[in-house]
Amino acid sequence: MAVRHSGTWHLANSGTCIPALGTFRHLAHSGTGTFRHLAHSGTWHIPALGSSTWQLDIPDAATMETKRMTDQQETMKAVVFTEYGSPDVLQLKDIDKPVVKDNEVLVRIRATSANAGDWHIMRGDPYLVRMLFGMLKPWKPTVLGNDFAGQVEAVGKNVSHFRPGDMVFGSALTGAFAEYISVSEDTPAPKPANMRFEQAAAIPCAAITALQAVRNAGRLERGQKVLINGAAGGVGTFAVQIAKSFGAEVTGVCSTRNVETVRSIGADHVIDYTREDFTLSGQRYDLIIDIVGNHSFSEFRRVLATKGTYVPVGGPGGGFLGSFADSLKAYALSHFMSQRVALLMATPNREDLVYLKGLFEAGKVTPVIDRQYTLIEAPEAIRYLEEGHARGKVVITV
């Protein structure tokens, strides 16, 4: 809606200051003319000298406010880095809001979470990571973060599974430490109905890794014995609960401060590694999921059943391949023995998110959240996660 004013305006060649924003239309014999606003002060470019009759359309307050909000929404807050290093390289900046492609959905992120992969990318460690982002420094400013939970704001013309307003959660390689993310329609899944955004954001990367370690790589069956080394972390807390949902007998390994937490989420047995070396226990496990990488494969073999499976999931960085180098060695050795080594490259997908959604809604799995930070505190969230003592997940609200 606009307020119209007509009348005779005496115009100079340029520089006339008009004390209102709006569009001028020339009603003289020459037809309609368009004028450019040159500055916020109200300076207008006038193409000709003279005095003629003009009509002035001044947008009303509501129209101007809508335009102001639209202009603001063309940018968003995001945590970016332009060089590899410590959490000090992370900066909260205003960047362009993603443009939705035909097969994508634009999600207004309400919460995200930090994962080990985030600090590996941030540091460019191991060097294998740099093959994806740039060897000496990132090829372009990169938004950190992969887990997200939020509300669909817009969809591309070819999207059929979602519509604006849907509550979703999912995981992308990068881009989630921001107010918005645009992802393929196949990436997110409907958010568990009984969960807050903060809880849903804790799920995707860690829970999918745990599920694929237990089910795909580990091939866990009901009644089998599984040991989870690193049971109190993000992946570990999910692995304990998912293994229990498969009907396994679960032993969790953690520090003294986390014993009760691991027991509370369903572990049948809990080993405090500060008091006992489980590799010398004499026990045998059908499946070992190693999230820490603090023992050699030969040590794990001592407690692995004759036809058991060892699944390395994480470990320290360094070098070109990081902990993956040790995993490859173990995998090569396994070809000469009855014990099996299964390498895991967790792959986020909607089908697994939907499966996990069912577990959460049924109350079989619950996210364990250690700390919550705000977006501007993302560097501190990563710094805390890097220390290696987080109990469950570290969540960032947006």
Q: Crossing angle of helices 116-123/378-386, nearest 10°?
A: 100
Are the beta carbons of 279 and 299 closer than 8 angstroms? yes
- More confidently predicted of 317 and 14: 317
Query: What are the structural domain ranges in the chain?
Result: 2-67, 74-203+367-397, 206-341
CA separation (Å) from 306 to 226, 228, 302, 320?
14, 18, 10, 32
pLDDT the model gives residue 103:
97
| HSE-CB for 136 with a 13 A CA cutoff | 0
pLDDT the model gives residue 11:
39
pLDDT band at 21 (very low <50, low <70, confident <90, very high): very low
Question: Identity (one letter) of the amino acid at 392?
Answer: G
CATH code of 74-203+367-397, in short, is: 3.90.180.10
CATH code of 206-341, in short, is: 3.40.50.720
For residue 116, the SS3 value is helix
Work out the mean pLDDT of the chain and round it to a whole number: 85
Q: Which of 76, 67, 111 has the alpha carbon at shortest distance from 97?
A: 76
Distance, in Å, from the CA atom of 65 to the CA atom of 59, rounded to the nearest integer, reads 10
For residue 397, the SS3 value is strand
Are the beta carbons of 56 and 4 closer than 8 angstroms? yes
Antiparallel, parallel or unpaired: β 189-190 and 167-171: antiparallel
pLDDT the model gives residue 330:
85
What are the tens digits of pLDDT across the range 54-108? 444 445 555 444 444 444 469 999 999 999 999 999 999 999 999 999 999 999 9
Are the beta carbons of 243 and 220 closer than 8 angstroms? yes
Nearest 10 degrees: Cα torsion 349, 355, 144, 198: 160
What are the tens digits of pLDDT across the range 252-291? 999 999 999 999 999 999 999 999 999 999 999 999 999 9
Mean pLDDT for 161-189 is: 97
Distance, in Å, from the CA atom of 37 to the CA atom of 23, rounded to the nearest integer, reads 9
H helices of 265-334, where?
297-301, 324-334
Cα Rg for the chain, rounded, in angstroms? Answer: 28
* CA 100 from centre of chain: 18
| DSSP secondary structure of 330-348 | HHHHHTTSSSEE-------
Q: Which of 304, 321, 353 has the alpha carbon at shortest distance from 190?
A: 353
Q: Do domains 74-203+367-397 and 206-341 have the same CATH topology?
A: no
* CA 244 from centre of chain: 27
Rounded to two decimals, the pTM is 0.81
